[in-house]
Amino acid sequence: MPVLATSEPTSQVGEPNLSVVVASVNGWEVLEPTLQALDAQPERACMEVIVVEAIGGAVRERLRAHRPEVVVIEAERMPIPNLRHLGVCRARGKIVAILEDHGQVASGWAASLLEAHEGPWAAVGGAVENGKRGLVNWAVFFCEYTPYMKPVVEGEATDLPGNNIAYKRPHLMRHAKVLAEGKWESWINDSLRADGVRLASTNAAVVHHIKPFRLGYFVVQRFHFARSYAGMRRVDQSVLKRLVYGFGSLALPALLMARVTKTVLTKQRNLGWFLAASPLVALFLSVGAVGEMVGYLFGPGSSLNQVE
pLDDT for 52 equals: 98
pLDDT for 12 equals: 65
**Among 152, 187, 209, residue at a domain's last position:** 209
Domain check: are 169 and 264 in the same one?
no
Amino acid letter at 88? Answer: V
Strands 71-75 and 3-7: antiparallel
Domain check: are 102 and 158 in the same one?
yes
Domain check: are 189 and 230 in the same one?
no
pLDDT for 251 equals: 97
Domain check: are 33 and 116 in the same one?
yes
Q: Which domain holds residue 219?
A: 215-306
Distance CA 292, CA 288 (A): 6
Domain check: are 152 and 53 in the same one?
yes
Residue among 12, 1, 137, 128 at smallest CA distance from 75: 1
Q: Is 123 helix (H, G, I), strand (E, B) or coil?
A: strand
Domain check: are 189 and 296 in the same one?
no
Q: Which residues of the chain have pLDDT under 70?
A: 1, 5, 10-13
Q: What is the pTM of this model?
A: 0.93
Amino acid letter at 54? Answer: A
Domain check: are 148 and 283 in the same one?
no
Residue among 242, 257, 244 at smallest CA distance from 288: 257
pLDDT for 37 equals: 98
> What CATH code is carried by the domain that includes residue 149?
3.90.550.10
Domain check: are 174 and 35 in the same one?
yes
Domain check: are 240 and 111 in the same one?
no
Distance CA 11, CA 20 (A): 17
Domain check: are 219 and 180 in the same one?
no
Domain check: are 266 and 181 in the same one?
no
Handedness of CA 92, 93, 98, 101 (dihedral sign): negative
Domain check: are 182 and 250 in the same one?
no
pLDDT for 6 equals: 76
Give the containing element (helix H, strand E) for 82. helix 80-90
Give how many domains the chain has, as a whole number: 2
